[in-house]
Amino acid sequence: MSKRVQRFAMEFIALIASIVIFWIPLYFVIITAMKSPREASLMDLALPQVNLLWENIKEVFVYRDYMLVRAFYNSTVLTLASIALLVIVSAMAAFVMQRRTDRFTPWLSLLVLMGLIIPPAIVPTIWVLDGLQLFKTLPGLILVEVALGFPFCAMLYRGFVASIPKEIDEAAIMDGYSGFKLFFKIIMPLLQPVTATVIVVQAVTIFNDFTNPLYFLPGVKNVTVQLTLYNFTSQFVSQYNLLFSNILLITIPPLILFIFFNKRIVAGMTAGAVKG
């Protein structure tokens, strides 16, 4: 009996702690987004007198000539294009890196591993992008996201390619398949579970990325959602209701991914972590 009481006490304490530590901040964001500027400036947990959530969200969207709409558009293009490139480029590279063993392969692995550890050199990257006339452009930023996301994705793919028996390759080769046909017709479909993992993990990472857009995509025309939020902190100093409406809006896409792909995200992140 006392064991059951003990268990119940532990569960109860955990529940209270989770509410205080995790739900109160979320509640704070939501109710502040519903308030008038005056109420929001009190920074408290009181309920709003009138729910102005809808008005606040509209105001945030309209602000500065629909800047946030442009930001959502840019972030969506950035996320989708980077993921599409990452999937194809990393899967192809991982396939050959796992299957081939010669003098170069250890060096290749080392080079990829370095990408996981070394912080990117900022200004020289700008210099390279500038030379290619890609600085301050969305395609330039997409290439940066691909280059920086590649090591993690390649590692995930390589781990999975190792579990595909080589006999499958051999059978296909016997049937006269070329390397590319083998990869695109047989291997790539088999990699589908990792592809799903790569897509959701990178979607969250790239959508939430702040540092790279800050450096490589400056300018009002080029904002991403994280940049607008950051810029709003100086523009909405006395309008926390609008600032937190924006926070709420930005949190929705990851929340949707989390609700539908919770297991995949966790699996992908832990797999990447343990192998690295």
- State the nearest-atom distance from the C-beta of 121 to other proteins, in Å: 4
Ordered DSSP codes for 184-240? IIIIHHHTHHHHHHHHHHHHHHHHH--HHHHHHS-SGGG--HHHHHHHHHHH-TT-H
- State the nearest-atom distance from the C-beta of 55 to other proteins, in Å: 21
* Shorter beta-carbon distance to other proteins: residue 65 or 101: 101
- State the nearest-atom distance from the C-beta of 236 to other proteins, in Å: 10
* Shorter beta-carbon distance to other proteins: residue 192 or 262: 262
* Shorter beta-carbon distance to other proteins: residue 70 or 145: 145
Tokens of 79: 């996320």
- State the nearest-atom distance from the C-beta of 209 to other proteins, in Å: 9
- State the nearest-atom distance from the C-beta of 143 to other proteins, in Å: 5
- State the nearest-atom distance from the C-beta of 156 to other proteins, in Å: 14
* Shorter beta-carbon distance to other proteins: residue 26 or 50: 26
The torsion angle over the Cα atoms of residues 232, 238, 242 and 248, rounded to 10 degrees, is 80
For residue 154, give Cα distances in angstroms to 45, 169, 201: 45, 20, 13
* Shorter beta-carbon distance to other proteins: residue 182 or 217: 182
CA 46 to chain centre: 33
* Shorter beta-carbon distance to other proteins: residue 52 or 82: 82
Contacts of 254 (CB under 8 A, 6+ apart): 204, 207, 208
Which sign, positive or negative, has the C-alpha torsion 150, 156, 162, 164? negative
b/e burial code for range 228-251 (CB count within 10 A of at least 16 → b): bbeebeeebeebbbbbbbbbbbbe
